[in-house]
Amino acid sequence: MKKILIVSGIVTGILLSLPVQSHAQQQANSASGKPAASNLKTTRDIKIISSAGARALADACSAWAEQNKKIVAMAILDWGGNVVESHAMEGAPMNAIDTALLKARSALRWRRPTSETNKMVRSGENLAPTFMHDFPQPGALPIVLNGQVIGAMGVSSADGEKCAQAAIDAVFNGQATTSAP
């Protein structure tokens, strides 16, 4: 019995010391006949919303709201869901920032305006946002630049998407869109 355990321990040790390639590496090697380490893209360039850009979005949305006699709160998130800026206009309800943040997170996760997610939920086409604790209420937009989602903006108002769109258009000079590829 001891000899079997010793032999199995030696075999296991030998197997663990052998180099193992990932499935992707095996496929790359078999396709090209040589290691693909030089072809592997180990990083990627991403765009992020700067603090100044987020502040400009908040200011532009506030200007739109004042012009349209609305009192809103807003939250701007970066591509990873981190709050870069939040702002509540004087007189906004105490839950307004939370509402804006929940909307922004939903727009970012689903990579679409929350009004579209709301329609999907209401029609029964996709109920996942409800059990994933999202807030699929109209009022938030993803911010897409050069085909890449760089963040989202949520606004606590029935006209939140109009406010966010006006801000995105003003700050990004029409270069950013609100629909992911």
* 146 vs 38, higher pLDDT: 146
Select from 154, 172, 151, 171 the least CA-distant residue to 163.
154
pLDDT band at residue 7 under the 50/70/90 scheme: very low
* The pLDDT of residue 174: 83
Pairing status of strand 140-145 against strand 148-155: antiparallel
Contact predicate 154/139, CB 8 Å: yes
Taking the C-alpha atoms of residue 167 and residue 157, their distance in angstroms, rounded to an integer, is 14
Taking the C-alpha atoms of residue 38 and residue 145, their distance in angstroms, rounded to an integer, is 29
- Please tell me the total number of residues recorded for the chain in this structure: 181
- The interaxial angle of helices 160-172 and 51-67, nearest 10 deg, is 130
Global pTM value: 0.74
* 158 vs 108, higher pLDDT: 108
Taking the C-alpha atoms of residue 49 and residue 47, their distance in angstroms, rounded to an integer, is 7
Which domains are delineated in the chain? 2-32 (no CATH), 51-177 (3.30.450.150)
pLDDT band at residue 27 under the 50/70/90 scheme: low
Taking the C-alpha atoms of residue 131 and residue 72, their distance in angstroms, rounded to an integer, is 27
β-pair partners for 152: 77, 142
Exposed, middle or buried by CB within 10 Å (0-12, 13-18, 19+), for 13? exposed
Taking the C-alpha atoms of residue 124 and residue 165, their distance in angstroms, rounded to an integer, is 27
State pLDDT tens for residues 107-157.
999 888 988 887 887 787 777 767 677 778 889 999 999 889 999 999 998
Q: Which of 30-41 are b and which e, b meaning 16 or more Cβ less than 10 Å from the residue's Cβ?
A: eeeeeeeeeeee
State pLDDT tens for residues 74-87.
999 999 999 999 99
